[in-house]
């Protein structure tokens, strides 16, 4: 009788372990954890008319009753600081704002663009890379929402 009880307990523990692994594997494969990146914010506006006069190389995201304009994004805080200094030398104020997305495709591409951003010190090259990042963001992240 002791053997049957012991075998039953071992079988239940083993079955629980197997089921827990199955559930964990499925959860791990379907859940993508939010990852940090940084917006390079150019400004914030209260109405759409104010945005009509700004450069086309920005994107605008409406959050509640405000319109935020961004000139780029990066996953690296040091790169964000470098870009902020570049733009401020050109007379364009930049605010670094944290962001989150679960879109792994975008984050992977953003990390690749970060390699290019890290390697350049040229304002025009940086601006071109940031415009490409914004285009990628619009294609991958904004279309998902």
Q: What residues does each domain of the chain span?
A: 35-142
* Domain covering 35-142 assigned CATH 3.30.70.1070 in the classification: yes
26 membership: H or E segment, kind and range: helix 2-30
What's the token pair of residue 16?
A: 């629980």
DSSP string, 70-138: EEEEES-HHHHHHHHHHHHHTT---EEEEEEE--HHHHHHHHHHHHHHHH---HHHHHHHHHHHHHHHI
Q: Specify the pTM.
A: 0.70
pLDDT band with cut points at 50, 70 and 90 for residue 144 = low
Q: What is the mean pLDDT of residues 111-134?
A: 94
Q: 24 falls in which pLDDT band (50, 70, 90)?
A: low
Residue with the larger pLDDT of the pair 96 and 62: 96
Q: Mean pLDDT across the chain, nearest whole number?
A: 83
Query: Is residue 75 pLDDT above 50, yes or no?
Result: yes
Distance CA 39, CA 141 (A): 14
Q: Is the per-residue pLDDT at 14 higher than 70?
A: yes
């Amino acid at each position: 009788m002791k053997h049957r009880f012991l075998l039953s307990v071992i079988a239940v523990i083993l079955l629980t372990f197997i089921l827990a692994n199955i559930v964990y594997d499925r959860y791990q494969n379907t859940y993508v954890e939010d990852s940090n990146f940084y917006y390079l914010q150019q400004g914030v506006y209260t109405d759409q008319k104010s945005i009509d006069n700004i450069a086309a190389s920005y994107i605008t995201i409406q959050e509640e009753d405000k319109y935020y304009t961004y000139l780029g994004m990066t996953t690296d805080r040091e790169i964000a600081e470098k870009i902020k200094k570049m733009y401020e030398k050109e007379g364009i104020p930049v605010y670094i704002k944290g962001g989150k997305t679960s879109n792994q495709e975008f984050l992977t591409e953003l990390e690749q663009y970060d390699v290019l951003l890290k390697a350049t010190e040229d304002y025009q090259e940086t601006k071109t890379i940031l415009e490409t990042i914004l285009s990628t963001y619009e294609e991958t992240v904004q279309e998902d929402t």
